[in-house]
Structure 1
C-alpha cells in the first residue's frame, strides 16, 4: 500500500479521495452519529449503511439545492 500511494498515480488518486470520499464518511460518523452498526449480518448492515447514505444525500440536496426540494 505504501508503494501504491507513493507512486505518482497513487498520489493523484489519493488526493482526489481526500477531497471527495473522506468528508462523506466524516459527516456520516460525526453528524449522523453512525459510529458502529448495532445490527448484525451483512444484509442488515448493508441496508443500514445504504439508509445512512440516502439520508446524507437528502441532506446535501436540501442544503445546496433549495429550488429542487
Structure 2
C-alpha cells in the first residue's frame, strides 16, 4: 500500500490530485475496544485534514495522527 500511494501520487501529480495514506490512530470503536487511546472525533481529524488540503498540501505521504510519518 505504501508503494502504491507513492506511485499513484506521482502518476496524478499533473492532474493536481493528492494521494496520501492515512492512519487515524487507535480509536475507541468496536474494533479498537474501550482500551484505545483516542475518541472517534480525534481519530477523524486526520481524514478531515486530508480531505481539506490545499493546492500546496502533501501528496504521496503517510499521515498518522495529523503528522507526516516516515514509511
TM-score (norm 2): 0.26
Rg larger for: 1
Higher strand share: 2
Higher helix share: 1
**Greater relative contact order (Cα 8 A, min sep 6): structure 1 or 2?**
2
